[in-house]
Amino acid sequence: MKISSTLLIAASVVLSNFAVASTTPSAKPAAPNAKQAQAGKFSIEMLAKDKLPANFKGANLIETINALEKMSLIKKGEFETTADFDNRKAKAYAAKLPGGQGIDDYFAFAFPVSVADSLPVGFRYKYDADAGDALFYMLPTNASLNGIGSPNHDIKGVRVDRLDALDFDLNIDKTRTYRGSNAYGATVNVEETSTTVFGLASPTIPFLDFKREVGYYRDLIPVGRVSMPSAIAAKELPAIKALVIAKVTQPYLIYDFYHSEPTRDNPKESYRQKKYLSTAIEGVIFYSPATGQIIARLPDGFGLPAKQ
């Protein structure tokens, strides 16, 4: 994959401005107020300049998934007509979601970006001190989701194969230790863990042109390269974030469930529930959360006004 020369030039200009902005106050257009920025209210017009509001957090993915999951539990009443039920359900989905977004709006979710280690997946960075370049990676997994685990316990669910998935957060719901035995009288202490994973799932992201891996990646192809002095890199890269801009698509939520049985040699039992927001991912912004400075865009020029 070739890195766009336009991205390199534009990013170098942005970083040169960033070096000044981080040390010297300058006149800037007024940013949205603090309450709006903290709430994560996003509009695509925010991307037209080189900065987002300082401390912009984006929408809360877990709260968004939980809100849509609650909406999915709406059931038709015994004495309710189909028309009345459809109207009630439509009104529920028309309500604002956490962060103030409507179901048809653009959503922006901020993902952490960590250093590219031996088991990279998700969003990563690497710094080439000799070249003075910061390299950025977007590494979704190739997921097949079995659709099991919706709150109404529909065991059929919606199965979807070959999605690009980005895991955002993992919650440990429950842990316990119990005494397990088998038919031959062998007993052992079993560690049981129940977890929930939250993330985004999307059809093949069009601006990524490399083979997806089911798990961790071995061959890393950068999606962005930015000239960055080492002093700035040391300060900014460990805190950088990736803002994923997407539209929510039906069926809104996609589930996946996995259970592993314990064995005598590996006495661990796990229950893993995955909950993905069904999306069409349109672009990514790598930015500094402290200042809002945009460092790189994916694809190149994403969110900028069209050239006349």
For 32, other C-beta atoms within 10 Å of its C-beta total: 17
**pLDDT (average), residues 148-153:** 82
Residue 59 has pLDDT above 80, yes or no: yes
Mean pLDDT of 112-123: 92
Task: Mean pLDDT check: name the lowest of 30-34, 50-54, 252-256.
Answer: 30-34
Query: Which tokens go with 158?
Result: 């919606």
* CA–CA distance, 135 with 227 (Å, rounded to integer): 9
Mean pLDDT, rounded, for 220-232? 94
Q: What is the pLDDT of residues 71-105, one digit of tens each?
A: 988 989 999 999 999 999 999 999 999 888 999 99
Q: Which of 238, 275, 236, 283 is nearest to 257 (CA)?
A: 275
Given a cut of 90, whether residue 141 has pLDDT beyond it is yes
Res 263: pLDDT: 87
Mean pLDDT computed over every residue of the chain: 85
Tell me, what's the pLDDT at 226? 95
Among the listed ranges 1-5, 108-112, 116-120, 216-220, which one has the minimum average pLDDT value?
1-5
Q: What is the pLDDT of residue 154?
A: 65
pLDDT tens-digit map of 241-275 = 999 999 999 999 999 999 999 988 899 999 999 99
Please check the confidence at residue 36 and state whether its pLDDT lies above 90: no
Q: Which of 31-45, 50-64, 82-96, 212-226 has the lowest mean pLDDT?
A: 31-45
Query: What pLDDT, on the 0 to 100 scale, is given for residue 117?
Result: 85
* pLDDT of residue 204 exceeding 80: yes
* CB of 208 closer than 8 Å to CB of 222: no
For residues 61 and 63, give the distance between their C-alpha atoms in angstroms, rounded to a whole number: 6
Please state the rounded mean pLDDT for residues 6-13.
34
**39/63: higher pLDDT:** 63
Q: Are 200 and 276 in contact (CB under 8 A)?
A: yes
Share of the chain above pLDDT 90, in %: 71
Across the range 173-191, mean pLDDT stands at 86
